[in-house]
Amino acid sequence: MGQGAQEPVFDRWVLHPLTMRTACLVFLGCALLFLTPAAGETATGGEHPPFGPLLFSIAVLVLAAKAGGVLAERLGQPPVLGELLAGVGLGNLALVWASVQMFASARADHTLAFLSEVGVLILLFDVGLETNLKALLRVGPSAVLVALIGVVTPITLGWLASAWLQPDKPVLVHLFVGAALSATSVGITARVLKDLQVTQERESQIILGAAILDDVLGLIVLAVVGGMVTASATGSGGVSVVSVAGIVVRAAVFLGGAAVLGHYLSGSLVRLTMRTGHPDEALLVGGVALCFTFAFLAEQGGLAGIIGAFAAGVFIDPYGRGIRSQREAATLSQLLHPLSSVLVPLFFVLMGMRVDLDSLASPSVLGLAGVLVVCAIASKLVCGLGVLAPRVNRLAVGFGMLPRGEVGLIFAGIGASLRLGDQPILSPSLFSAIVLVVLVTTLIAPAGLRVAFARTRPGPVATR
C-alpha cells in the first residue's frame, strides 16, 4: 500500500515538464563538456583507438535525430525532415563554435557510415515487406503511366538542368542528378493520405500504386546508373548500350526471381521458424540474415545492395500481408522496428551532416539548387497527366508523387559514395543542392495534398 501511494508522486516528479527540461539541460551540458578536442585524446594503453568518442557520437546523433523527428511530427511534418535538419545543425555547428571537432570527424567516420548503411538496408527491406505484388498488378494503366512519367520526366529535366548549369561536368554526373530527382517517397505520401482520411479514394489508390511502381523503377534506374559509373570508372567494358541492357536485365531478373521464389517458398520458411521453439526470434534473425544475404548477392551481380534488401522483403512477404510466425504474434515489420528506429535515423542525421551550408551560400550553388527544385516539382506535378480514368483529381495525383523523402536521400548518399576517377559523382555542393530539393519537396507535398483534396472533398480533409 505504501508503495502504491508513492508511485503517483514519483511519476509526477519524474514526468514533470520542468524535471524533463532540467534533465535535458544537464545532459546537454555534459555533452558540450566532452565535445572538445580533449575528448578524443584519451588513450586506452593498447594498440586500438578508444571507442569512447565513437560511442558517445552515436549516442548524441541518435538522440538528436529522435528529437528532430519528434519535433517535426509535432509540427505536422514527416519525421525524416526533423532527422535531416538535426544533422544539418550538428554538421555545421563548427560554424558558430570552432572548438567542436567531434561532429566534423563523425561525417567521415567509417564505422558510423557502415552503421548508417545497415540502416538503409533495413529500411529498404521493410519497404519490400510492405509491397503487395497483387496490388501492383491491380493498379491499372493509370498508375503505370503515372509512374513512367514520374521517372522519365525528372531524369530528363534533371539531366538538362545539370548540363546547362554545370557544362564542365561529365555526362554521368548529369544522369545521376536526374536519377536522384526521379525518386518518390511512398511512405511519406501514404502517411499524409492516411492523415487526410482519403486512402480509399481513387486518387489515393492511383498514387500509392504508382509510387510503389516508381520505387521499383527507381531502383532499376539506380542500378543502371550505378553500373554505368562503375564501368566507366574501372574501364571494364565502357557504357555501351549492351552493358546498360545487361544491367537492366540483371535487375529485372533479380527482383522478378525474388518475387517468384517468394510465392513458393516464403510460407515454408515461416513454418520453419515455428519449429525452433522461439518463433519470433527466429523470424527476426532469419529475416535480417536474408536481407543481408540478398544485399550481398545483389552486389555480387553488379547491383546496389539496397536492391537486394528490397528484393529480400518481397521474397519473404510477396503480398504485403504482414508476415508473422503465429496468428497473434507481431509481424516481421513490427519486430524490425526497434532496430530500424535506431539505425535508420542515424543514416538521415549523417546525410544532414554532409550538407555544407557554406556551399549553399554560393550564388552558383544556390542557383543550381533553385533550378533543381523547380524541375523536381514540375516533373512530378505533370504525373497527373498520366491519369486515364475520368473525374479524377489530377492535381492531387501530382502532389502525391512529389515528396522525395528518404528515397531521395538514399540516392544522394549513394551518389556521394560512388566515385568517377578521384572525385565523387555528387560533389559536396551538388549533394547539398539535392538535399535541399528533398527538403523542399517533402515540405510542399503534404500542404499540396491538403489543398488539392480540399477542392473536391472538403469534408474528410477538414477533419485533419
* 138 within some domain: yes
> Which segment of 133-137, 172-176, 370-374 scores lowest on mean pLDDT?
133-137
Strand partners, 319: 132
Q: Is the dihedral of CA 31, 68, 100, 55 positive or negative?
A: positive
Strand partners, 419: 424
User: What type of residue sits at position 131?
Assistant: T
Give the torsion through C-alpha atoms of 221, 223, 228, 232, to 10 deg: 150
* Per-residue model confidence (pLDDT) at position 235: 63
Question: What span, in angstroms and rounded, lies between the C-alpha atoms of 445 and 177?
Answer: 21
User: What type of residue sits at position 220?
Assistant: I
Q: Residue written as cell 505536422?
A: 76
pLDDT over 70, % of the chain = 80
Per-residue pLDDT band for 164 (boundaries 50, 70, 90) equals very high
* 393 within some domain: yes
Question: What span, in angstroms and rounded, lies between the C-alpha atoms of 136 and 339?
Answer: 28
* Per-residue model confidence (pLDDT) at position 21: 54
Crossing angle of helices 241-274/305-316, nearest 10°?
A: 40
* Per-residue model confidence (pLDDT) at position 378: 94
Neighbours of 137 (CB within 10 A): 9
* 309 within some domain: yes
With a CB cutoff of 8 Å and minimum separation 6, the contacts of 51 are none
Question: For the chain, what is the domain count?
Answer: 1
Is a pLDDT exceeding 50 seen at residue 37?
no
Q: CA triplet 162, 411, 182: central angle to 5 degrees?
A: 60
* Per-residue model confidence (pLDDT) at position 97: 52
Is a pLDDT exceeding 80 seen at residue 396?
yes
Which one is predicted more confidently, 29 or 2?
29
Question: What span, in angstroms and rounded, lies between the C-alpha atoms of 25 and 432?
Answer: 31
Strand, helix or coil at 331? strand
User: Residue 254 sits in which domain range?
Assistant: 114-462
Question: What span, in angstroms and rounded, lies between the C-alpha atoms of 297 and 60?
Answer: 34
Is a pLDDT exceeding 80 seen at residue 328?
no
Q: What is the mean pLDDT of residues 299-312?
A: 84
Question: What span, in angstroms and rounded, lies between the C-alpha atoms of 50 and 177?
Answer: 39
* 14 within some domain: no
The CATH number that applies at residue 171 is: 1.20.1530.20
Contact 187, 127 (CB under 8 A): yes
* 135 within some domain: yes
Q: What is the mean pLDDT of residues 399-405?
A: 86
* 197 within some domain: yes
Computed over every residue of the chain, the mean pLDDT equals 78
* 29 within some domain: no
Per-residue pLDDT band for 161 (boundaries 50, 70, 90) equals very high
- The tens digit of pLDDT for each residue in 62-79 reads 898 889 888 988 887 888
Strand, helix or coil at 195? helix
* 1 within some domain: no
